[in-house]
């Protein structure tokens, strides 16, 4: 059986491109989207390119949808080889200054952490039994250099002026999950890494970003065959946590 990958938030942007590039490598890709119409449309596009992709519905904050998806993957494939935790949000208003650490509202923090952190931890934990059935599994947590505390505390870094607190803190927490989970799984078949895609033109990255989505997806795709664990990586280079 070919490798099975699950990509969350795969209907557009980096998730869509990551699904395409994994499928081009011969992987069967389950493209998760919370919206049926957008998800099936995205899958249709890649199927027309001759790629082996399937639509699965997943609003990452809904535990019942996670549970149904685990059952579906178990009964259809019996394993999962690659989990790309890609779905993410940056709250509207960020990064223009309304959500700085001084003034960010609790509901913005909660909503951001729900999608970018809590749901991701829950989904990953629930997929672990299926990942353990793979000969060699990879978890890719799509993070951001903005979540690096080393970078954020370095005033000479150009990234340190970009301080949307809810988003950045949610990615720092995600990085912590990568470090802790990689350590917990170090004697298993599962490797866990964080990816920084670069600054990429998507609905989240905005029009001024220098990279296109196919370039941005490369880091996640390369981590699907990484021979290391517990690292934070962009384009093959390690980033400080
Ligand atoms: N673009 C960049 O420059 C950049 C840089 C660093 C890191 N990243 C990270 O890369 C990842 C992908 O971002 P992107 O730039 O491709 O953004 P995007 O184009 O806005 O795509 C985000 C994807 O996540 C999905 N999503 C959001 N909330 C969800 C939820 N509750 N349940 C399920 N799916 C949900 C969206 O679905 P809908 O279409 O239904 O909203 C969409 O498919 C994110 O984790 C982001 O933080 C991006």
19-60 per-position pLDDT tens digit? 999 999 999 999 999 999 999 999 999 999 999 999 999 999
Those residues whose C-beta lies under 8 Å from the C-beta of residue 65, and which sit 6 or more positions away, are: 57, 58, 59
- Contact predicate 62/56, CB 8 Å: no
Specify the CATH superfamily of domain 4-238: NAD(P)-binding Rossmann-like Domain (3.40.50.720)
Q: Collapse the DSSP code of 81 into the 3-class scheme (helix H, G, I; strand E, B; otherwise coil) and give the result.
A: coil
CA of 205 to the centre of ligand 1 (A): 9
Structure-token pair, residue 29: 């890709």
CA 64 to chain centre: 20
What spatial distance separates the first Cα and last Cα of the chain, rounded to whole Å? 36
For the chain, which residues make up each domain, given as ranges? 4-238
Residue having the nearest C-alpha atom to atom 47 of ligand 1 = 88
**pLDDT given at position 94:** 58
Q: Give CA–CA dist 209/160, Å, rounded.
A: 16
- The per-type count for the chain, helices as H runs and strands as E runs, is 9, 8
Which residues, judged by CB distance below 6 Å to any ligand atom, belong to the binding site of ligand 1? 8-9, 11-15, 34-35, 38, 58-61, 86-89, 115, 142, 144, 196-197, 199-200, 202-205, 209
* Mean pLDDT of the region 66-83: 98
Q: What is the pLDDT of residues 87-99, one digit of tens each?
A: 999 986 655 667 8
**Average pLDDT along the chain:** 96
**pLDDT given at position 98:** 72
Those residues whose C-beta lies under 8 Å from the C-beta of residue 122, and which sit 6 or more positions away, are: 63, 66
Q: Phi and psi dihedrals of 189, rounded to 5?
A: -85, 5
Q: Is the pLDDT confidence value at 162 over 70?
A: yes
* Mean pLDDT of the region 202-209: 95
């Amino acid at each position: 059986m070919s490798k099975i990958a699950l990509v969350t938030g795969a209907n557009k942007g980096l998730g869509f491109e990551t699904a395409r590039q994994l499928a081009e490598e011969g992987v069967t890709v389950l493209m998760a989207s919370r919206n049926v119409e957008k998800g099936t449309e995205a899958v249709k596009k890649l199927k027309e390119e001759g790629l082996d992709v399937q639509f699965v519905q997943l609003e990452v904050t809904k535990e019942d949808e996670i549970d149904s998806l685990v059952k579906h993957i178990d009964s259809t494939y019996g394993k999962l080889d690659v989990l790309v935790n890609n779905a993410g949000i940056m709250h509207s208003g960020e990064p223009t200054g309304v959500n700085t650490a001084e003034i960010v509202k609790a509901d913005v923090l909660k909503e951001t952490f729900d999608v970018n952190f809590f749901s991701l931890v829950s989904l990953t934990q629930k997929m672990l039994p299926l990942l353990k059935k793979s000969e060699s599994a990879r978890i890719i947590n799509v993070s951001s250099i903005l979540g690096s505390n080393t970078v954020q505390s370095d005033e000479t870094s150009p990234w340190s002026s970009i301080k949307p607190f809810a988003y950045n803190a949610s990615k720092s927490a995600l990085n912590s999950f990568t470090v802790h989970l990689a350590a917990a799984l170090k004697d298993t078949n599962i490797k866990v890494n964080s990816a920084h895609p670069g600054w990429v033109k998507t609905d989240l990255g905005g029009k001024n970003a220098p990279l296109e989505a196919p370039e941005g997806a490369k880091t996640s795709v390369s981590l699907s065959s990484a021979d290391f664990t517990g690292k934070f990586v962009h384009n093959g280079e390690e980033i400080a946590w």
